Amino acid sequence: MNLSYWEIKSWFSHVDYTIVGSGIVGLSCALSLKDRFPKANILILEKGILPQGASSKNAGFACFGSLSEILDDLTTHTEEEVINIVKKRVEGLQLLRSNLGDKNINYLQYGGYELFSKEDDMLYESCLSKRAQINAFLKPVFKEEVFSLVENKFHFKNIKEYYIFKQFEEQIDTGKMIESLLHKALSKGIKILNNVQVKSYEENNNRVNVNSNLFEFSTSKLLIATNGFASQLIEEPVKPARAQVLITKPIENLHINGTFHLDKGYYYFRNIDNRILFGGGRNLDFKGEETTEFSQTELIQNTLERILKTTILPNHSFEIEYRWSGIMGVGNQKQAIVKQLSNNVYCGVRLGGMGVAIGSTIGKDLSLLIS
C-alpha cells in the first residue's frame, strides 16, 4: 500500500502503543492505557471488518462458573486457585459494567441455571450432595448462598427434575457491548484500523517494527490481544477452539428467561429478543474444532437442533434464523496469559470461554504491564 506523506504523518508517526486485536481485551487495554497516559498515541490494528474472533460472536453469559465446573476445577486446581479464578470473574464483570454502564450492554439479572440430563445420575448426585459445601466455600466472595435448587419450571424435557439456580449470573447483549467499547475507544481519540492483519514484528533500537498485510511502521510498544489466533504471531501455549452457535426466529409465548448450562456446560442457551440462542457441542469433535476457520459442521449443528427440539423447546414450533461460529483461545490451564514477551512486546491471551467475565480485567492487567 502506497501511503501519502499525510497518512504517514497522521497515522503512523510517533505511535506509542500499538494493540493487535480489537476484541474485548484489545479495546479494554487501549482504554486503560488512555486513562493512564492521556497524551499517548494509541493505534489498534484489527484483521476483520468487525472484530473477528470471539468478542462479537459469543453468547453473552455474564457468569462466574457453574457448580459442576467449580467441583471439576477443584480436582485440578488448589482451593486458593479456584477462589481466585471466581474472584477474577466477579471483578471483571464489575469492571465491564462500570466501564460501559448497564444500559449500554443491556445487562439483565435473570439468573443462571445448570441442568442435568436424565441419564447423568453421577454428576447430578455429586452436585446435590456438595452444594452446601461449595456455597460455604464461596461465601467469602458472594456473602450469600450462591447455588440453590429449583424445580423444572420451564418444562424442559429429558432432564432431572431439579435445576441448580445461580442468583448472581447475568446476561448481556454482546453486540451492544462491543459497539459501546468501540464507541468509547474512538471517542477518546484511540485510532482503530480494520482489515489490517499483523504478519510479524521485530524489535529494533528500542522500538518495534510491525509488518502487516498492507504497510510497515514502528511503534514504541506492541501489545498482542489476539486470543485464539495468538500462535500465529507468538509462541505461547494457546490453541484455537471454535464454538458454534445458532439462534431461532422469534417464538410466540416464549417464557424462558435466563442463562442455562447443560451437560457440564458443553451446551449453553439463553433467551434474547423472544428467541433462543443455543451453542456448544465442541465435545463431539474436540480435534475438528481446534481450528481458526469460521464455519459450521453438520455434526454439531444437527445435534444442537435435535437437543433444541427434544429438550429445550419440546412444546414450541420454531425455525432457525442464523448460525455462526467464533474462535476462542484455550489451553490446559484456566488462567489467561498476561505477560511481557520481550523488551517492548506484551500479550494478554487465552481467555477460554470466560472472556465476557474476565476480558475487561485482562485488558487492564495487560496495560498495567507498561510502567
Ligand X SMILES: Cc1cc2nc3c(=O)[nH]c(=O)nc-3n(C[C@H](O)[C@H](O)[C@H](O)COP(=O)(O)OP(=O)(O)OC[C@H]3O[C@@H](n4cnc5c(N)ncnc54)[C@H](O)[C@@H]3O)c2cc1C
Q: Which of 24, 138, 164, 247 binds ligand X (CB under 6 A)?
A: 24
CB of 351 to ligand X, least distance (A): 4
Nearest residue to 172 via CA among 88, 61, 25: 61
Residue 308 engages ligand X in binding (rule: CB under 6 A): no
CB of 207 to ligand X, least distance (A): 19
Rank residues 105 and 124 by Cβ distance to ligand X and give the closer one: 105
Residue 61 engages ligand X in binding (rule: CB under 6 A): yes
- Contact between 186 and 285 (Cβ < 8 Å): no
Q: Which of 18, 32, 41, 58 binds ligand X (CB under 6 A)?
A: 58
DSSP string, 66-111: -HHHHHHHHHHS-HHHHHHHHHHHHHHHHHHHHHH-TGGGT-B---
Rank residues 124 and 338 by Cβ distance to ligand X and give the closer one: 338
Stretch that binds ligand X, among 120-128, 160-168, 228-236, 314-322 (CB under 6 A): 228-236
Rank residues 160 and 242 by Cβ distance to ligand X and give the closer one: 242
Pairing of strands 259-262, 162-166: unpaired
Compute the distance between CA of residue 358 and CA of residue 62 in angstroms, rounded to an integer: 10
Compute the distance between CA of residue 85 and CA of residue 325 in angstroms, rounded to an integer: 26
Residue 282 engages ligand X in binding (rule: CB under 6 A): no
Residue 105 engages ligand X in binding (rule: CB under 6 A): no
CB of 291 to ligand X, least distance (A): 12
Residue 258 engages ligand X in binding (rule: CB under 6 A): no
Stretch that binds ligand X, among 24-32, 143-151, 161-169, 298-306 (CB under 6 A): 24-32
Residue 21 engages ligand X in binding (rule: CB under 6 A): yes
For the segment 177-196, give every residue that binds ligand X (CB under 6 A).
Answer: none
Residue 240 engages ligand X in binding (rule: CB under 6 A): no
Compute the distance between CA of residue 73 and CA of residue 333 in angstroms, rounded to an integer: 10
- Contact between 279 and 271 (Cβ < 8 Å): no
Stretch that binds ligand X, among 49-57, 69-77, 108-116, 179-187 (CB under 6 A): 49-57
CB of 122 to ligand X, least distance (A): 26
Identity of the amino acid at 123? L
Q: Judged by CB under 6 A, how many residues of this single chain contact ligand X? A: 42
**CA distance to 20, 62, 135, 271, 287, per residue, from 354 (Å):** 20, 8, 21, 19, 21
Stretch that binds ligand X, among 46-54, 94-102, 130-138, 200-208 (CB under 6 A): 46-54
Residue 229 engages ligand X in binding (rule: CB under 6 A): yes
Residue 281 engages ligand X in binding (rule: CB under 6 A): no
Q: Which of 240, 258, 265, 279 binds ligand X (CB under 6 A)?
A: 279
Compute the distance between CA of residue 168 and CA of residue 62 in angstroms, rounded to an integer: 9
Compute the distance between CA of residue 226 and CA of residue 121 in angstroms, rounded to an integer: 40
CB of 213 to ligand X, least distance (A): 8
CB of 228 to ligand X, least distance (A): 6
Residue 54 engages ligand X in binding (rule: CB under 6 A): yes
Identity of the amino acid at 104? N
- Contact between 317 and 230 (Cβ < 8 Å): no
**CA distance to 86, 96, 130, 147, 236, per residue, from 140 (Å):** 11, 22, 17, 14, 34
Instruction: Give the cell for residue 162.
Output: 431439579
- Contact between 65 and 39 (Cβ < 8 Å): no
Q: What angle do CA 37, 38, 39 make, to 5 degrees?
A: 95
Q: Which of 219, 227, 271, 367 binds ligand X (CB under 6 A)?
A: 227
Residue 280 engages ligand X in binding (rule: CB under 6 A): no
Query: Coil, strand, or helix at residue 320?
Result: strand
Residue 43 engages ligand X in binding (rule: CB under 6 A): no
Residue 47 engages ligand X in binding (rule: CB under 6 A): yes
Q: Which residues bind ligand X (CB under 6 A)?
A: 20-26, 45-48, 51-55, 57-61, 197-198, 225-229, 232-233, 243, 245, 279, 326, 328, 351, 353-357, 359
